[in-house]
Structure 1
Amino acid sequence: MSADGQIMDLSSRTLEKLENENNKNGTVKQVLLDGCVPFSHQVAGHKCGINNTGVLQHPDGTILKQLQAPPRGPREMNFYTQVFAKDCTDKRLLDLKQHLPKFYGTWMPRESPHELYLKLEDVTRRFLWPCIMDVKIGRRSYDPFASKEKREEQISKYPLMEEIGFLLLGMRVYQIDSDSYITHDQFYGRSLGKDTLKNGLSRFFHNGQELRRHAVSLIISKIRSILRWFENQTQLHFYASSLLLVYEGSPRTINKSKHKPADPGTEHQQGEPQSKALSFHSSLTHSHPYCHGVQHKRTPMEYMEEVEKRKMRKS
């Protein structure tokens, strides 16, 4: 299931832009084991793996996420293995599969064979200037087996999450006027209160000149399809899971590919906004599957719609 040896096909123009971006940020991409580099579009998550860099990008264009310590890491790997098994016939898992990044098995660097990584699709790869937001969903940011201390620690980080059902973990938004990105981390997300949430979320859809209303509409549609999956099943219960939202940042480049997709059979159009539940464990995008009933959770987009409806009723 590995695609080692396949070299990522980047246009010279894209390489030049990436180089310029690194120069603006005062950074130089470090080539790590087996030609891997730090994933430039990581907006949230723990810094772990090779040299504590976080998620890595393989030369073939896939991303590598180091397996966490038990029980979380093995649970995550087992879940991906079940969903993407060729003989999987569970309709609920097959329906969920369309909302996940493709899973290409595991990968180990030749220099460090004791380290195990999940090999996943890079869902940002079909975009020229991907705008990315990672949002933790649900009212709990801990699993059912967490200690009292762990629960209290997680709740204290963002008490409002228990009420509104989500937390902005990070975002990276392309700005047309400056031809650069603005970024916000989890501390920005935790600083948002009830009165600032709407404006905080809307920053993800503003390119420095206008609000990308079309992207808002399309992403809401995709989130609703994920919500329908949750509402129609009770087999799995996801704790501390998150969605990765991506859309093309430059309206002039929609439907133009940044480079070739990692999987030629991908169902998404080039530059089409999408929402994905990216992985199953930690802050980057994590979900813990358990066999419990699933309660309805409001998504950030639903929250924004609700705020607008309230304003209209008041007026």
Structure 2
Amino acid sequence: MSADGQIVSKFTLVQLENGNHNHESVKQRLLDGCVPFSHQVAGHKCGINNTGVLKHPDGTILKQLQPPPRGPREMHFYTQVYAKDCTDTRLLELQQHLPKFYGTWSPRESPHELYLKLEDVTRRFLRPCIMDVKIGRRSYDPFASKEKREEQISKYPLMEEIGFLLLGMRVYQINSDSYITHDQFYGRSLGKDTIKNGLSRFFHNGQDLRRGAISLIISKIRRILRWFETQTQLHFYASSLLLVYEGSPHTLDGQKHKQTQHRPQNNSSSHQSRSALTQNTNGTLGGAGGEDDGDVGVEDKMQFGQEEAVEVRMIDFAHVFPSDTADQSYMYGLRNLLAALELILKE
């Protein structure tokens, strides 16, 4: 039992404590055919040469487990949600909003280093535009020390009011056939009067605002909000939404880019592996009243393609805790993000 009450297997803790900081073998640029993941826009830079997330030859991505208790807690979350014998309808419904989980992986050269083996949700896109948005009114969990809380609050004092933070984005520009990027420092520079413009940047390809993508992403975020409105068993802190849409104009005619599909190895150990926004009476930002996916018009789908042209997935679960109440903080963030996106569409 960890200090925060999360049950963690002894085997996992031993692997993490003994191996995750042993970098003797991680000086190699390549490790068992794995390479740095080129589409990472935020997150921890750890693991091989501090490159962060890795891409496995089979098309999955590898995220190294963080030191205890964060790493074991995230692994517990994934194994709980994706357990073969899971009968909890809420957790089964949650699966559609997460990357698929294929167990853990370790390199041959350093078998004590554990990585989560996850679906690459950007893989089927030709020119993926990606944004990482941290959701919730605070980015520290209930067990954080006073120093940790003060540190997190100082990074973005408006988090409590806005309910989300842009951690990073990578946007394809048609004219130059290149990407522009913005990191977490850009996100933290955004205030109540500029957050909407910051979000708009993510949907602008240098020529046009991708309204169809905004509309379809709104639809998917609403589905996640509905899941949160029906569950009282989990609270999510410092967790993010990964937003992805197709940046290439060559895929808008229905001829979607498809890559060769590989079957990921499901390994369980070692190598086997958010002023323009108006507040309503509830304190949230106005504009996110619609609940029906029908708000995504036929015209949007005709111009942009079907819903498969976008992805919205929840990521980063090192601070997920059991609860018996609704996660009001996360829902506040989702509603404010929806409000901002809807205002962009109305302009």
TM-score, normalised with respect to structure 1: 0.82
Q: In the TM superposition, what whole-angstrom CA distance separates every residue of 1:26-61 from its partner, at most 9, and x where no partner exists? A: xxxx84110100000000011101111100000111
Cα distance between partner residues in 2 of 1:305 and 1:125: 25
1:207 correspondence with 2:244: no
Q: Which residue of 1 aligns with 2:339?
A: 303
Cα distance between partner residues in 1 of 2:341 and 2:307: 27
Which shifted more, 137-146 or 30-39? 30-39
Q: In the TM superposition, what whole-angstrom CA distance separates every residue of 1:278-314 from its partner, at most 9, and x where no partner exists? A: 2312xxxxx52331421131335423157569x99xx
Residue 260 of structure 1 aligns with an amino acid whose one-letter code is T
1:104 correspondence with 2:102: yes
Give the 5 Å matches for 1:102-251. 102-251=100-249
Runs of 5+ in structure 1 lacking a partner? 1-29, 282-286
Q: In the TM superposition, what whole-angstrom CA distance separates every residue of 1:68-98 from its partner, at most 9, and x where no partner exists? A: 1111111111111111111110001001010
Distance verdict in 2 for CA 1:172–1:250, change over 3 Å = same
Provide the secondary structure at the position in 2 that maps to 1:260. coil
Distance verdict in 2 for CA 1:218–1:113, change over 3 Å = same
Q: 1:279 aligns with which of 310, 313, 316?
A: 316
Contact residue 167 and residue 190 of structure 1 kept, 8 A: yes
Provide the secondary structure at the position in 1 that maps to 2:309. coil
Q: Which residue of 2 aligns with 1:260?
A: 260
Cα distance between partner residues in 1 of 2:160 and 2:29: 41
Distance verdict in 2 for CA 1:97–1:108, change over 3 Å = same
Distance verdict in 2 for CA 1:70–1:106, change over 3 Å = same
Residue 251 of structure 1 aligns with an amino acid whose one-letter code is P
Contact residue 239 and residue 317 of structure 2 kept, 8 A: yes
Provide the secondary structure at the position in 2 that maps to 1:280. coil
Provide the secondary structure at the position in 2 that maps to 1:33. coil
Runs of 5+ in structure 2 lacking a partner? 1-27, 265-305
Cα distance between partner residues in 1 of 2:93 and 2:308: 23
Q: 2:92 aligns with which of 91, 94, 109?
A: 94
Residue 73 of structure 2 aligns with an amino acid whose one-letter code is R
Cα distance between partner residues in 2 of 1:106 and 1:202: 37
Cα distance between partner residues in 1 of 2:262 and 2:100: 10
Contact residue 121 and residue 262 of structure 1 kept, 8 A: no
1:181 CA displacement: 0.3
How many residues are matched? 273
> RMSD in angstroms over aligned alpha carbons?
2.1
Return structure 1 stretches of 4+ with deviation > 4 angstroms: 261-264, 305-309
Q: In the TM superposition, what whole-angstrom CA distance separates every residue of 1:166-196 from its partner, at most 9, and x where no partner exists? A: 0000000000000000000000000001111
Distance verdict in 2 for CA 1:121–1:306, change over 3 Å = closer
Provide the secondary structure at the position in 1 that maps to 2:217. helix
Q: Which residue of 1 aligns with 2:8?
A: none
Cα distance between partner residues in 2 of 1:308 and 1:128: 25
Provide the secondary structure at the position in 2 that maps to 1:93. helix
Contact residue 127 and residue 270 of structure 1 kept, 8 A: no
Cα distance between partner residues in 2 of 1:306 and 1:58: 37
Contact residue 128 and residue 246 of structure 2 kept, 8 A: yes
Distance verdict in 2 for CA 1:154–1:292, change over 3 Å = farther
Question: Share of identical aligned residues, percent?
Answer: 78
1:122 CA displacement: 0.2
Cα distance between partner residues in 1 of 2:72 and 2:54: 19
Provide the secondary structure at the position in 2 that maps to 1:246. strand
1:230 CA displacement: 0.5
